[in-house]
Amino acid sequence: MPSAARHANIPVFVPQLGCPHACIFCDQKSITGQAGFDPAALDTAMAAVGKAGKEREIAFFGGSFTAIPRSLMITLLERAAAYVAEGRAAGIRLSTRPDAVGEEVLTILRHYPVKTVELGIQSTDDRVLNAALRGHDAATSAEACRRVKAFGFELVGQMMIGLPESTPAAEEKTARDLVAYGVDAARIYPLLVFPDTALFDAVKEGRYRPLTVTEAVARTLPPYEIFAEAMRPVIRIGLCESDGLRHTEQVAGPYHPALGELVLNEFYYRKIAGWLSGLTNKPDKVSILSAPGTLSQVIGQKKRNLRRLEAAFPGVALTFGESERAAPRQLIFITKEN
Ligand code: SF4
């Protein structure tokens, strides 16, 4: 799992197609740099990945896929299904709104190799949803998740950190609700501010202050821990290029190209510091083993975690390694005593 674990997609952006209006923070045209939708976008994306695409899913992102005009939606599904049938892609995934996954459209999706439906839930606090001009409430999201699962699709829940009116408690509740709604995986997006959005105006007028990167990391961590505890992979933290993010120079707020890594660094730091703090007699030496591929996350960027731990627990010599024995996100602590 977790992280920020890399999930390979062949993204095809349908900027705000199907959206009944713009949510307060959203300008997919700014995010993706696409002014409109080119129906050839799928073929262009497939040509770019060639045979390398066969392990990946064709991902219709950046709009409300199930709310776009039926004829265009079906044309895209037909073409994508043909690529899957040719063995050039593993399946189809799409993102959409919770109020756009009725039985009729889910029945259509079932005729195609759609494996995963991603729902932009963003928050399960109605006050936050209202402030974001989402146009649906939390009960709609709960019902949408139930329906998507009942139709047999894998469900990914997307949530945001730092929306207007939101609080750390509301974000933790959103993560717990997503787990209860049965999401198989999650994406966590700290809120960025794009030009030409109502949120941008709110910042200019002093009605909204974007989070800093440090604040975004601190507020993302508890929801991440909730998903980790519930064994739900967090497949992305923070908008990045694979979400179509271009022109990062136009973005205000907590943009960092490796935000997920920062959250994971903090996750492991707290695990280690918490374990060491709980020991009455501190050992001289501790070896810490983590799952394969996670060593740099445990030690931290530029060994920051190591330095912080050495400062907090002087006299404890720490060594780190990876082991198949460690499950994802698990740490194994080895001291002389154990
Ligand atoms: S956040 Fe999603 S539903 Fe809202 S405008 Fe953007 S793409 Fe559409």
Q: Decide which of 22 and 336 is more confident.
A: 22
DSSP 29: H
Output the pLDDT for position 52. Answer: 75
Distance 173 CA to ligand 1 centre (A): 22
Output the pLDDT for position 15. Answer: 86
Distance 233 CA to ligand 1 centre (A): 23
Alpha helices by DSSP H, listed for the chain, are 28-32, 41-49, 70-85, 103-109, 126-131, 138-150, 168-181, 198-204, 213-229, 259-277, 295-299, 304-312
CATH number of the domain within which 320 lies: 3.40.1260.20
Q: Is the pLDDT of residue 5 over 60?
A: no
Question: Which is the closest atom of ligand 1 to the Cα of 22?
Answer: 5
Q: Rounded mean pLDDT of 271-288?
A: 95
In angstroms, what CA-CA distances link 276 with 154, 194, 307? Answer: 38, 42, 15
Residue nearest to atom 7 of ligand 1 (CA): 63
Q: Decide which of 36 and 221 is more confident.
A: 221
Over residues 229-267, the pLDDT tens digits come to 999 999 999 987 666 666 666 788 999 989 999 999 999
The verdict on 135 and 280 lying in the same domain is no
The verdict on 90 and 114 lying in the same domain is yes
Examine residue 3 and state whether it is found in any structural domain, yes or no: no
Report how many domains make up the chain: 2
Residue nearest to atom 5 of ligand 1 (CA): 22
Q: Which two tokens stand for residue 127?
A: 């006050």
- Quick one: pLDDT band at residue 32, thresholds 50, 70, 90? low
The verdict on 144 and 14 lying in the same domain is yes
Output the pLDDT for position 127. Answer: 98
Among 268, 276, 170, 258, which Cα is nearest to 228's? 268
Residue nearest to atom 6 of ligand 1 (CA): 26
Domain boundary among 257, 282, 302: 257
The verdict on 277 and 182 lying in the same domain is no
Are the beta carbons of 184 and 156 closer than 8 angstroms? Answer: yes
Domain residues for 95?
Answer: 9-257
Mutate to test the pocket of ligand 1, among 13, 14, 16 (most ligand atoms within 8 A of CB): 16
Domain boundary among 215, 234, 257: 257
Residues forming a β-bridge with 282: none
- Looking at the chain, the whole-number percentage of residues with pLDDT higher than 90 is 79
The verdict on 165 and 286 lying in the same domain is no
Question: Which is the closest atom of ligand 1 to the Cα of 21?
Answer: 5
Domain boundary among 257, 286, 307: 257
Output the pLDDT for position 1. Answer: 39
- Quick one: pLDDT band at residue 3, thresholds 50, 70, 90? very low
Over residues 40-52, the pLDDT tens digits come to 899 999 999 887 7
Residue nearest to atom 4 of ligand 1 (CA): 23
CATH number of the domain within which 205 lies: 3.20.20.70
Examine residue 2 and state whether it is found in any structural domain, yes or no: no
Separation CA 99–CA 18 (nearest Å):
11
Q: Which two tokens stand for residue 38?
A: 């080119």
Question: Which is the closest atom of ligand 1 to the Cα of 62?
Answer: 7
Are the beta carbons of 260 and 227 closer than 8 angstroms? Answer: no
In terms of average pLDDT, the best of 21-30, 46-55, 71-80 is 71-80
Examine residue 152 and state whether it is found in any structural domain, yes or no: yes
Examine residue 186 and state whether it is found in any structural domain, yes or no: yes
Of 56-60, 91-95, 243-247, give the lowest mean pLDDT range.
243-247
In angstroms, what CA-CA distances link 105 with 69, 96, 273? Answer: 11, 12, 49
Q: Rounded mean pLDDT of 115-130?
A: 98
The verdict on 131 and 30 lying in the same domain is yes
The verdict on 269 and 233 lying in the same domain is no
Distance 97 CA to ligand 1 centre (A): 7
The verdict on 29 and 99 lying in the same domain is yes
The verdict on 78 and 114 lying in the same domain is yes
Residue type, 82: A
Distance 253 CA to ligand 1 centre (A): 18
The verdict on 230 and 319 lying in the same domain is no
Of 16-20, 72-76, 330-334, give the lowest mean pLDDT range.
16-20
Q: Ligand 1: which residues within 6 Å by Cβ? A: 16, 19, 22-23, 26, 28, 63-64, 97, 120
Output the pLDDT for position 246. Answer: 65
Examine residue 93 and state whether it is found in any structural domain, yes or no: yes
Examine residue 177 and state whether it is found in any structural domain, yes or no: yes
Looking up tokens 């002087």 gives 314
Q: Rounded mean pLDDT of 275-293?
A: 95
DSSP string, 237-283: ES--GGGT---GGG-BSS--TTHHHHHHHHHHHHHHHHHHHT-SS--
Total-model pTM: 0.91
The verdict on 252 and 270 lying in the same domain is no
Output the pLDDT for position 179. Answer: 98
Output the pLDDT for position 314. Answer: 94
Examine residue 250 and state whether it is found in any structural domain, yes or no: yes
Examine residue 4 and state whether it is found in any structural domain, yes or no: no
The verdict on 70 and 200 lying in the same domain is yes
Output the pLDDT for position 4. Answer: 42
Q: Is the pLDDT of residue 325 over 90?
A: yes
Output the pLDDT for position 21. Answer: 85
Over residues 145-186, the pLDDT tens digits come to 999 999 999 999 999 999 999 999 999 999 999 999 999 999
Q: Rounded mean pLDDT of 295-303?
A: 94
